[in-house]
Amino acid sequence: MKRTVFLIGIPFLVTLYFGFILSSKGCNYVMANHPDKLVDFNHKSHLSKYFPANGLSKDDCTICHDYYPNGRFKGLPTVAECTSCHDPNGTGNDADPNVARRKPMLDKFKDTDKPWGAFAKQPGLVYFSHKVVMTAKYEDGRLKARCGSCHGDKADSTTAAMIKGKMLMGQCEDCHTALNLSNKCAVCHD
Amino acid sequence: MKKLERKDFLMLGGGAVAGGLAGYVFSGAPFLGLQWLVEWTQDQHVPAGGAENYLKAVCGACRTSCDMSIRMIGDRAVKIETSNSGCPFSQNALQLLYHPERLDSPLKRTGRKGTAKASAFEPVSWDKAITDIAKRMNKMIGEKKGNLIAGISKNDNLAGALLNRLVKASGSANAYYEPSLNTLAQAALGGYVDYDFANADFILSFGARLLEGWGTPCSMNRNFVAWKKKGAKLVQADAVRTRTASIADTWLAIKPGTEIVLALGIANCLAKKGRAAGGADWMAIVGQYTPEKAAAITGLKAKQIEEVADAFARAGNPVAVAGRGGSGVSSSSAEFLAVQALNAMVGSRAAALKKSQGLGEPALSANAAASIKDAKKTVGLDDFIKNGNFEMLFVNEADPAYKSVYGADLVKKMESAFVVAFMPLLNDTALYADYIFPSLSFLEEASAAGDAPLKPYMKAVHAGDAIITLAKKVDDLKGAFPWNGYVDLVKTYGAAAGAGAPNFNARTLGDHLASLENTLKASGDFPLSLVPIELTFVGDGDGLAFPYVLKTIDDKTYSQGKLWVQINRKTADEQGVSEGERIDIESSRGEIGSVRAHLTDTVAPDTIAIPLGFGHRACTRYAREKGVNPKEIMANDIDPLTGAANWWLTRVKIS
């Protein structure tokens, strides 16, 4: 009996592990946009150190991920926005804890560069308005959606690795249903 | 260590396979695969990659001229957003632009009429087709038979005006628009009603389903939001609790077809307050319709009528709205007059009569002038289909074979006539066309608001340009078409001027009321009333051509190949009809195929509400052979002023 359990159980556990890992990686691969992430970024340190010091909460994502005046989502920040805090002529050490360090890895980029790509960029046939979803409110004034609903818990991430990738239509629809947003085709497609 | 036997290898292999499968399942991969499968079945076009770009334009779909942003991936538009997010026209415009069955070149019929099969047509060049039609027109006009040329347009727009001019310059009076809110109002009142809803504070609607495709849907949605913000009141009179009725401040649940009686009852109350409109003979009829009498006919209480009349009179800027329906409108000329009389009685500033300047009347050649003397006079489209004759017919985006209650008569006449159609998609009327020309969607057209946002699709051309090109090849028409193309006219066309006051003709009102009395009378043969309802996006038929629209149809409107009708629950009990049962509906004109019954309390007693827009024979694979077309059995009495059939209320029975 013991031998039987070993003979079945060990290969079961080994292939379960590798099957799970391989399939997960495969899913992640096909669901990722495979962006270049030329500069690593630590959300956690920014949100835990600099946000509280400036009176911001971890939900104030628009400080870096803002909207254009016409309402379109800017998405990722430019290097100029990074260097507005990380002064290129500043010091490279923590001598003054209230001053952000110079980041030498930004030197090779122009101010307008965005040295990151998005994991979750939707395909061309889908239109998604961040502004509409992120400003939708319940009657009591609470926001209906949070950034983390689609992008994962970036507040705790310490690298530029993917937490959540693209979404399939079913996931979009589930969220629309839960938030009482329309699921009519023309809302996202045309 | 015991030696491994064959059985042990099987256990090892089995464990490995089971483990691998379990890992695969727990990773979520199969569910991801299933979701892909679901997406794949949606037949969604995935554009080829390209740079993302946003075009700025002004929407030309209606007079509201909203700002429009078109998201482009490479050369292909993939999404449209406008400054009015509630506008269905612009949101769904790409459905027409890139429709899989969009006509991409002129077609000449080579097979028998009545079929949409590709084998029945052959592509032909624009020049060859126009030359052939011009030759036929030259011959007809030369023989002084220009009065047998006719034209039917869907919209009262520039292309429609150019087609009207082509027909009139040929020596014919047979230039018609499909009955619509504006064309019916113009025929009844002498001008269309330019409603200023934005500044109205009390809206009294007589069956006009204001938020279900009526008028200009995008501006109506915007108006509704404004009404709610400023506290304007909406009162809806309707026999069915439609979407508009359900979100109105007050729903007056009247018996079907009695809107005009309600209008007269309210007018009677206003008359007692010293308000008047029309002459003494008009007011004499109004005097007969006391609130008590109107209540007995409409099924309301006299007090309700008095209260509405009182609130209407006291409002700062009230407006009464005629034109029963959504996209498809059917109201008698008497009803338009009676409702506009209410506006006159309270001095509404929100219902001005206006008249489009149009292109003016063309100068006639000697042949055309001789021809028009022999022209048979008919008043409107249905009157023309029933009583008129033609040998050559131009159809500009219209679909009278489907939408008119006289569609079957038109089909018979088209079978022996030469028919030319301009349209982006092949509709039921084009089944009988000899030539079909691909025309443009509004995204490809220049408008008074600006240049065309996108390039024309394949070989499609603006119908106005095709008509001008044709006219220049017809000897007797050249002089009437001095323009090089429709773009020469877009900046100036559409100007409107005041139309003065309507003629509140007491005879028109009296005749209609006498006829209505007969219609409302329940008979043993046809004890029930049939009234139309519409789904906003399907409208009266054109919307069903678009795949996205199919997704908005609920399963109590159309499911499993059957159209559903709504029947009052109590009436259904009396008729022995149960939920979901198949029934046949029959009027004095005949019977339509079976439909399913949905029992509800939202429809007036003794009434069946049937959706319009279904039962096409063509109009793309999305619309074809889905349900039944109730127009085939609907009432067909022709209105003396509009020349359109008053099909709203039909006496029927079920079996």
Residue of A nearest to B4 (CA): A7
Q: What is the DSSP string of B458-517?
A: TT---HHHHHHHHHHTSTTTGGG---SSTHHHHTTTT-EEE-------HHHHHHHHHHHH
Residues of B in Cβ contact (< 8 Å) with A29: none
What pLDDT, on the 0 to 100 scale, is given for residue B386?
Answer: 97
Q: Which tens digits make up the pLDDT trace of B26-56?
A: 998 998 888 888 778 877 777 777 888 889 8
Strands B590-600 and B582-587: antiparallel
Are residues B400 and B407 in contact, defined by beta-carbon separation less than 8 angstroms?
yes
What tens digit of pLDDT does each residue of B367-411 get? Answer: 999 999 888 889 999 999 999 999 999 999 999 999 999 999 999
Mean pLDDT across B282-308: 97
**Helix axes B463-472 and B158-169, enclosed angle (nearest 10):** 20
Amino acid sitting at position B135: K
Q: Please name the member of B11, B21, B94 whose beta carbon is closest to the beta carbon of A8.
A: B11
Instruction: Using DSSP bridges, classify how beta strands B558-559 and B175-177 pair: parallel, antiparallel or unpaired.
Output: unpaired
Q: Chain A residue with minimal CA distance to B51? A: A124
B352 strand-pairing partners? B194
Degrees to nearest 5, angle at CA B631 with B625 and B635: 160
Per-residue model confidence as pLDDT tens digits over A144-155: 888 888 888 888
Q: Does A185 sit within 8 Å of B39, measured CB to CB?
A: no
Q: Does B52 sit within 8 Å of A124, measured CB to CB?
A: yes
In this complex, do B45 and A125 lie within 8 Å of one another by their Cβ atoms? yes
Strand partners, B253: B238
Chain A interface disruption, residue of B17, B78, B550, most A CBs within 10 A: B78
Q: Which of A7, A19, A185 sits opposite B20 (nearest CB)?
A: A19
pLDDT, tens digit, 9 for 90 and up, residues A8-39: 999 999 999 999 999 999 988 888 888 888 88
Are B614 and B328 a contacting pair, CB within 8 Å? no
From residue B512, how far is each of B404, B505, B509, B646 by CA, in Å?
A: 21, 11, 5, 11
Residue B445 distance to chain A (closest CA, Å): 19
Kindly determine whether residue B23 and residue A170, on different chains, have CB atoms separated by under 8 Å. Answer: no
Q: Do A18 and B20 touch (CB under 8 A)?
A: yes
Among residues B361, B358, B362, B363, the alpha carbon closest in space to that of B489 is found at B358
Q: How far apart are CA A190 and CA B548, in angstroms?
A: 9
Q: Give the distance from residue A169's alpha carbon to the nearest chain B alpha carbon, in angstroms.
A: 7
SS3 category, B343:
helix
Q: Which residues of A fall below an 8 Å CB-CB distance to B?
A: 3-4, 7-24, 26-27, 30-31, 72, 123-125, 127, 129, 168-171, 184-186, 189-190
Average pLDDT, stretch B221-241? Answer: 94
Place of tokens 């497609």: A189
**Torsion sign, CA atoms B27, B33, B34, B39:** positive
Write the CB contacts of A31 (distance below 8 Å, at least 6 apart in sequence). A165, A166, A167, B32
Q: How far apart are CA B215 and CA B156, in angstroms?
A: 13
Based on its alpha-carbon atoms, the radius of gyration of chain B, rounded to whole angstroms, reads 28
Q: CA triplet B559, B560, B566: central angle to 5 degrees?
A: 40
Measure in Å the smallest separation between the Cα of A124 and chain B Cα atoms: 6
Which residues pair with residue B57 across a beta bridge? B68
Are the beta carbons of B35 and A170 separated by less than 8 Å? yes
Q: Answer whether A125 sits within 8 Å of B88, measured CB to CB.
A: no
Q: How many Cα atoms are found within 13 Å in the side-chain-facing hemisphere of B96?
A: 25
pLDDT, tens digit, for every residue of B587-621? 999 999 899 999 999 999 999 999 999 999 999 99
Q: Is it the case that residue B325 has pLDDT exceeding 90?
A: yes
Provide the percentage of residues in chain B whose pLDDT is more than 90: 77
**Which element (helix H / strand E) includes B10?**
helix B6-26
DSSP string, B29-93: HHHHHHHHHHHHHTT---PPP--EEEEEEE--SSTT--EEEEEEETTEEEEEEES-TT-HHHHTH
Structure tokens at B166: 């082509």
Cα dihedral B486, B187, B642, B141 in deg (nearest 10):
-40
HSE at residue B161, side-chain half, CA atoms within 13 A, is 19
Contact between B88 and A186 using a beta-carbon 8 Å cutoff: yes
**A19 vs B23, B47, B78: nearest CB:** B23
User: What CA–CA distance (Å, rounded) separates B624 from A7?
Assistant: 61
Which strand ranges, in their side-by-side order, compose the sheet holding B250-253?
Answer: B250-253, B233-238, B202-206, B318-321
Contact residues for B274 (Cβ-Cβ < 8 A; gap 6+)? none
**Mode of pairing for the β-strands spanning B107-109 and B435-437:** antiparallel
Instruction: Please give, one letter per residue, the 3-state secondary structure of chain A.
Output: CHHHHHHHHHHHHHHHHHHHHHHHHHHHHHHCCCCCECCCCCHHHHHHHHHHHCCCCCCCHHHCCCECCCCCECCCCCHHHHHCCCCCCCCCCCCCCCCCCCCHHHCCCCCCCCCECCCCCCCCCCCCCHHHHHHCECCCCCECCCHHHHHCCHHHCCCCCCCCCCCCHHHHHHHHHHCCCCCCHHHHCC
A contacts of B50 (beta carbons < 8 Å): 124
Residues from chain A that touch B19, judged by Cβ atoms under 8 A, are: 11-17, 19
Per-residue pLDDT tens over the stretch B453-473 = 899 988 999 999 999 999 999
User: In which order are the strands placed within the sheet that holds B67-73?
Assistant: B52-58, B67-73, B76-82
Residue of B nearest to A13 (CA): B19
Is B552 in contact with A184 (Cβ distance < 8 A)?
yes
Which of B530, B558, B454, B327 is CA-nearest to residue B59? B454
CB–CB contact A189 B79 (8 Å): yes
CA atoms within 13 A on the CB side of A62: 12
A186/B548 touch (CB, cutoff 8 Å), yes or no? yes
Kind of pairing between the strands at B590-600 and B562-568: parallel
Reply yes or no on whether the pLDDT at B170 is more than 80.
Answer: yes
pLDDT digits (tens, 9 = 90+) for B494-543: 788 888 889 999 999 999 999 998 888 877 899 999 999 999 889 999 99
- Between A and B, how many CB-CB pairs are < 8 A? 128
CB atoms within 10 A of CB B376: 13
**Residues of B in Cβ contact (< 8 Å) with A128:** none
pLDDT in tens, A55-96: 888 888 988 899 988 778 888 999 999 998 898 888 777 677
Enumerate the β-bridge partners of residue B236.
B205, B251
Which residues of chain A lie closer than 8 angstroms to B28, CB-CB? 23-24, 27
Cα–Cα distance, B319 to B322 (Å, whole number):
10
Interface contact A12-B29, CB threshold 8 A: no
Question: How many CA atoms within 13 Å lie on the side-chain side of B438?
Answer: 21
The verdict on a CB contact (< 8 Å) between B20 and A189 is no
Q: Compute the mean pLDDT over every residue in chain B, rounded to the nearest whole number.
A: 93
Lookup result for tokens 């009378």: B521
Query: A23: which chain B residues are within 8 Å (Cβ-Cβ)?
Result: 23-24, 27-29
- Give the Å distances, CA to CA, from B529 to B44, B112, B239, B635: 42, 39, 10, 11
Measured on CA atoms in the order B130, B133, B135, B137, is the torsion positive or negative? negative
In chain B, what residues touch A123 (CB-CB under 8 Å)? 46
Q: Which of B140-144, B371-375, B553-557 is least confident?
A: B371-375
SS3 state at B562: strand
Q: Classify the complex by whether its ipTM is higher than 0.95, answering yes or no.
A: no
Give yes or no for a contact between B371 and B141, defined as CB atoms under 8 angstroms apart: yes
Partners of residue B151 on adjacent β-strands: B175, B394
The pair of three-digit structure tokens given for residue B105, joined into one six-digit string: 């070149």
Chain B partners within 8 Å of A124 (Cβ): 46-47, 49-50, 52, 73, 78
Torsion angle defined by CA atoms of residues B277, B281, B286 and B290, in that order, rounded to the nearest 10 degrees: 140
Contact B16 A170 (CB under 8 A): no
